Amino acid sequence: MTAHAIADLRSNLGYLKPGDVDRIEAAYQFSDTAHLGQMRKSGAPYISHPLAVAEIVASWQLDAQAVMAALLHDVTEDTEVTKKEISERFGKPVAELVDGLSKLDRIEFQSQQDAQAENFRKMLLAMARDVRVILIKLADRLHNMRTLDAVSPTQRRRVARETMEIYAPIANRLGLDSLYRELQELSFANLYSLRYRTIAKAVKAARGNRREVVTKVLDAMRQRLEEVGIEAAVTGREKHIYSIYKKMLEKHLSFSQVLDIYGFRIIVKDFQSCYHALGVLHGLYKPVPGKFKDYVAISKVNGYQSLHTTLIGPFGMPVEVQIRTQLMHRIAETGVASHWLYKGTEAELNEVQKRTHQWLQSLLDIQNHSGDAAEFLEHIKVDLFPDEVYVFSPKGRILALPRGATTVDFAYAVHTDIGNRCMAARINYDLVPLRTELKNGDRVEIITAPHAHPNPAWLAYVRTGKARSQIRHFLKTMQATESRELGERLLGQALRALGARLPDVAAERWDKLVRDTSAHSKQEVLSDIGLGKRLAAIVARKLLNVNEHHYPTDAAGGKGTGAIVIRGTEGMAVQFAKCCNPIPGDPILGLINKGQGLLVHTHDCPSIGKSRLDPDKWIEVDWDPETNRMFDVVLKVVVLDQRGVLAKVAAAIADAGCNIANVSVDEERGMYATNYFTVQVANRQHLAKVLRSLRRTQEVVRISRVKD
């Protein structure tokens, strides 16, 4: 077997130098010896697997190091050979690739979501460091899928599902189209074998009926292109079983309703010939409106380029056609693997490689801003096979985003700082809400402000992994900072009740407290106090080593402890209760809400009821005389139901220097109408001014402030 096998491998290595081929042959001999006596579950000698993987890698024309690593990828895992030995025999780069692959081979995708997410994260990060690792892993997975019959049905389904969910999308994202299609096809055949066999049988039966039509279309295309002097290779092919199944599933069709089971490909010599051939075909058969896509002028994110069109062929049969050059065809088939410059500088990278490089770097960025593996998986899965929309920046730069992406996704795609400071957007020169979804060809302009920051509501409608991870990272950081500042103020209040000051607490006391409470740092303790996870009074007692019995009677928040001053700009660490909507000037109380920080109520809020009897929950709070934000207040305004009255009331509110955030009107009609205005005021004095302005309006019958 050895001589015949190495001859087959040699026949695929014509693109390499003779010295590299000799090193690959040495790696083969080494691997063959190491695996001697080992057999696959199919009964074949084990060396047949690394040899097949090396042949796939060589068909993509990867460098000699990658082919050698493919031959050696299982030796450290299944034999006594060490990484050091490989490094000494074949060089450090080959040893690093084999080591990376061995780590990936130890990945076992568990049913538990967290374990799967962690393994997926490791795999993508290995890919970000050296894309050859994942290319060899994809070749390994392809050969395993081709020989899956030898394993148990349970394992077959597990491997097939993992391939469909993880490996096939990665192959697509890297532009390896033929590999992507084959992995999908093999996964479908093993996951849903009955469905696969049924559709395959139907395709075979339809083949005879449609052969005549397909031949007629091929002959007509070839003849017409030849007549106008276009050199072209015209081929027809059956669509993959999985593609037909997906179309049936998505469009709720039976097999007999899926007419376009054949696709046609035209490969021409140059860029201009693509458009020339398109015009000729549109003259031969009528095109279907809306079914033309130009991926030549604007390529897909993974570098794919082709013109796509659908024509009405003989007997009304839809004919799908792809037109591309030979270079475009090669990139479409093998993507980034076809020409990855492993030793090239940034300046040498072409457009496809640059895009892939940027995507791999974005994996590392998302990893840095994700809290755990499950969050990383959530962020990245959306980026794996996006159905793209192409939009333009004001300077004409083209950005590809997943379908459903919004202006916020666009802002983060331009730059993280643009996303974080985004406050408004224009699409095609018109102001639009930030949640507006982008469409192909939109010109998008982002308006920023120095003090703007991400809104938690954005998470409900962003689509890209980068936007989602950056928003969450910002909010977590902001919440940690704000809760730490609030915690410091709460602890300072509790210490004053014990006759001490926060700056006077010795560092040794803090160190002991951090150890005793199993916290990581002083900052974490302060943050926990601000979020309500720890009580300031208890932390203060521990810091001062004060016994419970010596605790003063007013220390839970009575007069003399010094109230916490509320400025209104604390952010997420201080929240204002929706049940009573307190504003500066209202007497207020603070409720420590576990995990949420400080919740501020008016002192007469009906919802606090019996909980006021628990002194550990409540602290004294007071307004800062210089609050510099606006607060929402709901006003119930009963008016005479006359034409134009709403405009008069709105004008009266505006005259008092007040903004209206929302208006609603009771449905009941009669002599009087009840309106609810959500207005924004600075304090109670400002509210009083608004009420006086309203009372001067003749049509206003009654005004009241709604607290619930």
What is the DSSP track for 312-349?
A: E-GGG-EEEEEEEEHHHHHHHHHGGGGS--TT--GGG-
Angle at 448 between CA 447 and CA 450, to 5 degrees: 160
Q: Which residue has the higher pLDDT, 131 or 186?
A: 186
Residues 6+ apart with CB under 8 A from 345: none
The answer to whether residues 586 and 612 touch, using CB atoms and an 8 Å cutoff, is no
Condensed to tens digits (0 to 9), the pLDDT of residues 427-443 reads: 998 888 898 999 878 89
Per-residue confidence at 446, pLDDT binned at 50, 70, 90?
A: very high
Residues 6+ apart with CB under 8 A from 378: 465, 468
pLDDT at 686: 93
Catalytic, 516? Answer no
68 has a pLDDT exceeding 80: yes
β-pair partners for 7: none
pLDDT at 109: 46
Q: How far, in Å, CA of 310 to CA of 292, rounded?
A: 7
Per-residue confidence at 366, pLDDT binned at 50, 70, 90?
A: low
Residues 6+ apart with CB under 8 A from 296: 271, 274, 275, 305, 306, 307, 324, 328
**Which range, of 266-270, 405-409, 543-547, averages the lowest pLDDT?**
543-547
445 has a pLDDT exceeding 70: yes
Condensed to tens digits (0 to 9), the pLDDT of residues 554-602 reads: 433 333 445 677 777 666 667 788 888 899 999 888 887 665 567 888 8
β-pair partners for 681: 631
Catalytic, 32? Answer no
The answer to whether residues 90 and 72 touch, using CB atoms and an 8 Å cutoff, is yes
pLDDT at 115: 57
Per-residue DSSP letters for 146-203? HTGGGS-HHHHHHHHHHIIIIIHHHHHHTT-HHHHHHHHHHHHHHHSHHHHHHHHHHH
Average pLDDT score over residue span 260-277: 88
Per-residue confidence at 322, pLDDT binned at 50, 70, 90?
A: very high
Average pLDDT score over residue span 134-162: 88
Which helix (H) or strand (E) segment is 479 a member of? Answer: helix 465-497
Per-residue DSSP letters for 480-536? HHHHHHHHHHHHHHHHHHTT--GGGS-HHHHHHHHHHTT-S-HHHHHHHHHTTSS-H
552 has a pLDDT exceeding 50: no
The answer to whether residues 469 and 442 touch, using CB atoms and an 8 Å cutoff, is no
Q: Is 288 left (phi over 0), alpha (psi -120 to 50) or beta?
A: beta
536 has a pLDDT exceeding 90: no
pLDDT > 90 in the chain, percent? 18
Fold (CATH) for 631-706: Alpha-Beta Plaits (3.30.70)
Average pLDDT score over residue span 145-172: 85
Q: Classify residue 165 by burial, with Cβ atoms within 10 Å: 0-12, 13-18, 19+.
A: middle
* Closest C-alpha to 538, from 548, 524, 553, 526: 548
pLDDT at 153: 87
Query: What is the rounded average pLDDT for all residues in the chain?
Result: 80
User: What SS3 state is found at 623?
Assistant: strand
The edge-to-edge listing of strands for the beta sheet with 574-576 is 564-566, 618-623, 588-593, 597-602, 574-576
Q: How far, in Å, CA of 664 to CA of 677, rounded?
A: 7
Tokens 């042959």, residue?
A: 25
pLDDT at 352: 59
Q: Which of 77, 212, 219, 231 is catalytic?
A: 77
Q: Which of 20, 25, 78, 294 is catalytic?
A: 78
Half-sphere exposure of 630 (CA within 13 A, CB side): 13
Q: Which residue has the higher pLDDT, 636 or 123?
A: 636
Q: Which residue has the higher pLDDT, 298 or 385?
A: 298
Average pLDDT score over residue span 357-383: 60
Q: Which residue has the higher pLDDT, 190 or 114?
A: 190
Per-residue DSSP letters for 208-270? HHHHHHHHHHHHHHHHHHHHTT--EEEEEEEPPHHHHHHHHHHHT--GGG----EEEEEEESS
CATH code, 194-337: 3.30.460.10
Q: Which residue has the higher pLDDT, 388 or 397?
A: 397
Q: Is 571 left (phi over 0), alpha (psi -120 to 50) or beta?
A: left
Q: Which residue has the higher pLDDT, 48 or 382?
A: 48
CATH code, 2-190: 1.10.3210.10
pLDDT at 512: 84
Average pLDDT score over residue span 151-165: 86
Superfamily of domain 351-464: Beta-grasp domain (3.10.20.30)
Query: What is the value of pTM for the model shown?
Result: 0.56
Q: How far, in Å, CA of 697 to CA of 422, rounded?
A: 40
**Which range, of 31-40, 289-298, 320-329, 491-500, averages the lowest pLDDT?**
491-500
Per-residue confidence at 145, pLDDT binned at 50, 70, 90?
A: very high
pLDDT at 184: 92
pLDDT at 635: 94
706 has a pLDDT exceeding 80: yes
* Closest C-alpha to 318, from 285, 281, 294: 285
pLDDT at 107: 46
Residue 499 φ/ψ, nearest 5 degrees:
80, 25
| Cα Rg of the chain (Å, integer) | 34
Q: Where are the domains of the chain?
A: 2-190, 194-337, 351-464, 473-623, 631-706
694 has a pLDDT exceeding 70: yes
pLDDT at 282: 93
* Closest C-alpha to 372, from 117, 170, 120: 117
Per-residue confidence at 288, pLDDT binned at 50, 70, 90?
A: confident
Per-residue confidence at 500, pLDDT binned at 50, 70, 90?
A: confident
383 has a pLDDT exceeding 60: no
**Which range, of 46-60, 410-424, 571-585, averages the lowest pLDDT?**
571-585
The answer to whether residues 708 and 606 touch, using CB atoms and an 8 Å cutoff, is yes
**Which range, of 6-20, 101-115, 302-316, averages the lowest pLDDT?**
101-115
Average pLDDT score over residue span 283-304: 84
pLDDT at 188: 92
pLDDT at 704: 92
Q: How far, in Å, CA of 454 to CA of 474, rounded?
A: 7
pLDDT at 340: 46
Half-sphere exposure of 235 (CA within 13 A, CB side): 9
Q: How far is CA 637 from CA 640, 676, 704, in A?
A: 10, 6, 7
- Give the N- to C-terminal CA distance of the chain in Å, as an integer: 84
408 has a pLDDT exceeding 90: yes
User: What SS3 state is found at 310?
Assistant: strand
Per-residue confidence at 346, pLDDT binned at 50, 70, 90?
A: very low
Per-residue confidence at 615, pLDDT binned at 50, 70, 90?
A: low
549 has a pLDDT exceeding 60: no
pLDDT at 209: 64
Per-residue confidence at 222, pLDDT binned at 50, 70, 90?
A: very high
